Amino acid sequence: MWQLGAIEIGILGATALVIMALLGVRIAFAAALVGTLGLVSLMGWQAGIKTVGIIPYGKSVSYTLSVLPMFVLIGYLAFHAGITHTAFEACRRWLGWLPGGLAIATVFAVAGFSAVSGAATAAAAVFARVAIPEMLRAHYNRQLAAGVVAAGATLDSLIPPSALLVVYGIIVEESIGKLLIAGFVPGVFSALVYCSIILYRCWRNPELGQPITGYTWPERFRSLPGTLPIVLVIAIIFSSMLYGWATPTEAGALGAFCVFVIALANGMKWPELRQALLDSARLTVMIYTIIWGILIFVRFLGFAGLPEAFADWIVHLDVPPLVVLLAIYVVYFILGMFMDAIGMLLLTLPVVFPVIEALGYDPIWFGIIVVKLCGIGLLTPPVGLCCYVVNGVRPDIPLSTIFRGIWPFVVADIVTVAVLTAFPEIVTFIVDSAD
């Protein structure tokens, strides 16, 4: 009787997971189910079930994974500490005089918040409340106002602390500290590209966003002390990892403690602290659940030998490595329209990463690229999560308006990916200099 080989079972499992994900089944449960059935078919019932049972416990007690709740907690504490309002006000006073100045101020304020936050959706929700009302009062175009908040929130995926970079490092077993350090310059560069797009569009069409004038120099300088908490947290997290004073988890804990003290000094009460802790716990549990499910699936693929077979096939194709790389970009761009970022990373990396290694690309550089591509997926319809968050906070702005507003920023992201691909040193030079 004809039987399926391990590779064939792996292909069937991967196909089943893609179909289930497209049908709307939660990626964590779909991956766990397919992985469990696959392991049982390859190893037998007893060995397969035991393997599945070990994975959640083994990863839950992993020191590497403990960095995630720290970074998530920093973001929610920062919101309740009022850091977002002070950052936006400072950027408004210093940059409002430019064409589209409030939108540019929003980009830099979100970038600052991203340095003390680990979740793009949190950034989108916060600045939909803080920045959009200010831009609409200044008669900014609604598409621009909503689009810049949704797009700016995706900077959170690159600027450390970044949950997506942590997830990438866990899957491919790369240094999380190096990944977080490497994300800083590309994140700032991406913010500058966003600002350039805004400046050009508002210069060509002043009706999109008029300059804001009237602030004196003393008023501008009085806004700077409110930004010191952000500077402090950035300095602690970045320098401690760069110079090896602390592990990423320890740096995250130090950052969370500093933001907690700042929040108490700013008058945060028990109900706000309780909400911050609950929100952090919910998001952390969601991320952990996805990781557990996908790692069961990854273990199944490993036993089936599919990643190694796929990498060997790709390497022996008669095409330049750049063509393979661009094809991977296109796959991520398309998947980002239908899947959430963490699920997409966990689904694709077990197969894609061996190809990247076999082609000789730097794994740290590729981590920044793939996370930036996931950031694009947070914008593009039909599953542009940041756009849905902005619409949830501001239901008066139709979702169609928000989606129309994000496309100039998607173009800006494509430009950023192209530049980082052409000049990978932008990503790696800080990490290389620290070694």
Handedness of CA 95, 100, 103, 107 (dihedral sign): negative
Q: Shortest CA distance to 345 belongs to which of 336, 358, 357, 356?
A: 336
Residue 8 inside a domain? The answer is: no
* pTM of the shown model: 0.81
Residue 382 inside a domain? The answer is: yes
Q: Which residue has the tokens 């077990």?
A: 350
Q: Which residue range(s) make up the domain with 231?
A: 28-39+53-434
- What is the reported pLDDT for 408? 94
Q: What single string gives the DSSP state of each residue in 148-173?
A: HHHHHHGGGGTSSS-HHHHHHHHHHT
User: Helix axis angle, 120-137 relative to 83-95, nearest 10°?
Assistant: 50
Contact 138, 102 (CB under 8 A): yes
Residue 2 inside a domain? The answer is: no
**pLDDT interval class at 411 (50, 70, 90):** very high
Q: Domain tally for the chain?
A: 1
Residue 307 inside a domain? The answer is: yes
Evaluate if residue 160 carries a pLDDT over 50: yes
- What is the reported pLDDT for 232? 81
Residue 46 inside a domain? The answer is: no
Residue 193 inside a domain? The answer is: yes
Better-scored residue on pLDDT, 145 or 228: 145
Q: Residue 214: which region, alpha, beta or left (left: phi > 0; alpha: psi -120 to 50)?
A: left
Interval 384-392 mean pLDDT: 85
Better-scored residue on pLDDT, 170 or 407: 407
**What pLDDT digit, counting tens, does each position of 33-88 carry?**
888 898 888 888 888 888 888 877 776 666 666 777 887 788 778 777 777 778 88
Q: Residue 198: which region, alpha, beta or left (left: phi > 0; alpha: psi -120 to 50)?
A: alpha
Q: Rounded to an integer, what distance in angstroms lies between the CA atom of residue 328 and that of residue 340?
A: 17
Chain CA centroid to CA 13, Å: 27
Evaluate if residue 3 carries a pLDDT over 70: no
Q: Rounded to an integer, what distance in angstroms lies between the CA atom of residue 151 and that of residue 201?
A: 16
Evaluate if residue 335 carries a pLDDT over 60: yes
- What is the reported pLDDT for 74? 80
Residue 35 inside a domain? The answer is: yes
Interval 273-278 mean pLDDT: 86
Evaluate if residue 367 carries a pLDDT over 80: yes
Residue 45 inside a domain? The answer is: no
- What is the reported pLDDT for 19? 84
**What pLDDT digit, counting tens, does each position of 235-255 carry?**
887 788 777 787 777 888 888
- What is the reported pLDDT for 412? 94
